[in-house]
Amino acid sequence: MSAPVVADTGGLLRALARSPNGDAAWPDYEAVLRSARVVVVPSLVLAEVDYFLRHERAAMRKLVAEIFDPKTTYELEVASAADIVRALVIDGKFVELELGLVDGFVAAVAERRRIFRVLTSDRRDFATLRVGNRFERALTLVP
């Protein structure tokens, strides 16, 4: 098992995507999900994933069941007031990126949990932003 990872919306969607023959559409992303000791799913990410899977209800129900199954590596990270405030601080610090609340929340959760690996397809934003008291810590983007 590899180190824990915090899942962003795009990374999680790619990891779950299937080709018409049922194989992983993005095998590198799926491999991160399968190998991570813990996959932290921020609750705002889950809401965003639900939006993108609005026409794939079976896939969404399966994901939710897996997240709440204690035998999986998923952990749902519920948004706290402190996390939301920190997300807004991060968004304000990196205003030029136009992160928004969800990406700021992903960064805030990674910072608080000290899990600096992020499963994301959003390389532009997550490669630029920093976390930590002095915004000195870069995130490691996977895959």
Task: Give the tens place of pLDDT for each residue, 72-109.
Answer: 999 999 999 999 999 999 999 999 999 999 999 999 99
Residue type, 110: A
Under CATH, what is the fold of the domain 5-137? Rossmann fold (3.40.50)
Please report the pLDDT score of residue 96 as a whole number. 97
Write down the residue that tokens 């932290």 correspond to.
40
Mean pLDDT of 59-67: 96
Asked whether residue 1 carries a pLDDT value surpassing 90, the answer given is no
Read off φ and ψ for residue 75, nearest 5 degrees: -135, 120
Which residues does 32 contact at the CB level (< 8 Å), separation at least 6?
Answer: 2, 5, 11, 15, 119, 142, 143
pLDDT of amino acid 66 = 96
Which whole number is the average pLDDT over 124-135? 97
Question: What letter would DSSP give residue 135?
Answer: S
Which residues, including other chains, have CB under 8 Å from residue 26's CB and lie 6 or more apart? 14, 15, 17
Q: What pLDDT sits at residue 130?
A: 98
Q: List pLDDT tens digits, range 7-44.
A: 999 999 999 999 999 999 999 999 999 999 999 999 99
